């Protein structure tokens, strides 16, 4: 009887051990699918950390997708949420990974930039840098959409102009030929010195020809007159809100500047403000964006119609 009990107990232990190993191997298989072939199936935490350190050494912080340091460290935390090595590594490389994501935005690879920002958010969702990156990404998307709209409008105007020219050319009828009467019969007496009808017709043709030749010179002068070429007026600032000097920067006597890119809408409001450049980085960004978002403009116009305009403005912080 005792032997049977021991056999049953041993079988139960073996069963639970096999089940535990299966559950432990499941995250490793997910890591393999997420991170690509560089991580073998069933890799342990030490092996994941080794691959993550190798990715950092090769500057693969956020890309390529599935084979970068950020995803590998996050995979470690999924298996062991309290792993200090992965937590410290993510905190240390976060600023460098943020710059890499910003560079991806500057290169115009907007879909890839969104993937990288989402990856950063998994490590530190409350970091204000994510707000700045998302704002800059949205501004680039708005600018790309506006540029595409302008290209479409210009193409439509060209098509309308071409259609008008074609219609005008069809409606122009050839001028009737001027009949030239034959020479008058010779007079039996003294010939007349008055101009003949043919000479009068030729004189009229000469005057009309002179007027037609003068017209192109007038058109050239009108096209080169200043202010007539573009038909575009830039937006003008009507209400400026000064930024609040950050308390920490004031305490440490830090100074700098921020270049802000934003869109002035047809109603004069500001949207899509983002930081294009700054010195130092991430010190005065929030103050500059908050202030610019409250500015008001007289909107820019094109051909007399209010349109959205892209503006870049430098804001300096001096003590």
Place of tokens 């100074």: 255
Question: Is the predicted pLDDT of residue 11 greater than 50, yes or no?
Answer: yes
In degrees and rounded to multiples of 5, residue 93 shows phi and psi of -90, -5
Question: Is the predicted pLDDT of residue 26 greater than 70, yes or no?
Answer: no
pLDDT at residue 28, rounded to an integer: 39
Instruction: Residue 75: name the closest of 39, 105, 103 by CA.
Output: 39
pLDDT at residue 73, rounded to an integer: 92
Q: Could you tell me the residue ranges of all domains in the chain?
A: 10-126, 233-317
CA torsion angle 83 86 90 91 (round to 10): 50
Task: Provide mean pLDDT across the span 47-74.
Answer: 91
Question: Is the predicted pLDDT of residue 152 greater than 70, yes or no?
Answer: yes
> Which comes out higher in pLDDT, residue 164 or 98?
98
Question: Is the predicted pLDDT of residue 15 greater than 80, yes or no?
Answer: no
pLDDT at residue 222, rounded to an integer: 31
> Which comes out higher in pLDDT, residue 15 or 130?
130
Question: Is the predicted pLDDT of residue 210 greater than 80, yes or no?
Answer: no
pLDDT band at 171 (very low <50, low <70, confident <90, very high): low
Is the pTM value of this prediction over 0.95? no
Terminal alpha carbon distance of the chain:
90
Q: Name the average pLDDT for the chain.
A: 78
Question: Is the predicted pLDDT of residue 75 greater than 70, yes or no?
Answer: yes
Q: pLDDT digits over 261-298, tens only? A: 999 999 999 999 999 999 999 999 999 999 999 999 99
pLDDT at residue 162, rounded to an integer: 86
Place of tokens 């870049």: 312
pLDDT band at 18 (very low <50, low <70, confident <90, very high): low
* The pair of three-digit structure tokens given for residue 76, joined into one six-digit string: 């470690």
Question: Is the predicted pLDDT of residue 318 greater than 90, yes or no?
Answer: yes
pLDDT at residue 32, rounded to an integer: 39
Question: Is the predicted pLDDT of residue 33 greater than 50, yes or no?
Answer: no
Percent of the chain whose pLDDT exceeds 90? 50
> Which comes out higher in pLDDT, residue 59 or 205?
59
pLDDT at residue 240, rounded to an integer: 95
CA distances from 254 to 245, 294, 314 (A): 10, 24, 17
In degrees and rounded to multiples of 5, residue 263 shows phi and psi of -115, 125
* The pair of three-digit structure tokens given for residue 164, joined into one six-digit string: 């008008």
Q: Give the class (CATH, top level) of 233-317.
A: alpha beta
pLDDT at residue 164, rounded to an integer: 82
Task: Provide mean pLDDT across the span 33-52.
Answer: 71
Bridge partners (DSSP) of residue 315 are: 258
Instruction: Residue 114: name the closest of 154, 141, 81 by CA.
Output: 141
């Amino acid at each position: 009887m005792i032997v049977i009990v021991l056999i049953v107990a041993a079988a139960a232990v073996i069963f639970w051990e096999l089940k535990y190993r299966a559950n432990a191997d499941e995250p490793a298989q997910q890591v393999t699918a997420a991170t690509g072939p560089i991580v073998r199936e069933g890799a342990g935490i030490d092996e994941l950390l080794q691959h993550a350190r190798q990715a950092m050494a090769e500057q693969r912080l956020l890309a390529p997708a599935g084979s970068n340091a950020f995803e590998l460290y996050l995979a470690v935390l999924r298996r062991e949420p309290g792993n200090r090595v992965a937590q410290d590594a993510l905190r240390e490389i976060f600023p460098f990974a943020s710059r890499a994501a910003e560079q991806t935005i500057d290169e115009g690879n907007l879909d890839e930039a969104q993937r990288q920002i989402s990856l950063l958010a998994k490590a530190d969702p409350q970091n204000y840098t994510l707000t700045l990156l998302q704002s800059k990404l949205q501004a680039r998307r708005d600018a790309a959409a506006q540029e595409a709209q302008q290209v479409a409008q210009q193409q439509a105007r060209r098509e309308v102009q071409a259609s008008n020219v074609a219609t005008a050319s069809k409606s122009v009828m050839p001028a009737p030929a001027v009949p030239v009467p034959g020479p008058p019969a010779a007079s039996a007496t003294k010939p007349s010195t008055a101009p003949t009808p043919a000479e009068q017709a030729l004189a009229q043709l000469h005057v009309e020809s002179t007027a037609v030749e003068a017209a192109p010179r007038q058109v050239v002068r009108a096209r080169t007159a200043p202010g007539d070429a573009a038909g575009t007026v830039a937006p003008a600032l009507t209400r400026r809100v000064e930024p609040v000097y950050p308390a920490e920067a004031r305490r440490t006597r830090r100074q700098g500047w921020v270049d802000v890119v934003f869109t002035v809408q047809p109603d004069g409001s500001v949207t899509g403000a983002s930081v294009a450049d700054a010195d130092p980085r991430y010190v005065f960004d929030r103050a500059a964006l908050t202030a610019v978002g409250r500015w008001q403009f007289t909107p820019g116009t094109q051909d007399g119609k209010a349109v959205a305009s892209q503006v870049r403005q430098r804001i300096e912080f001096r003590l």
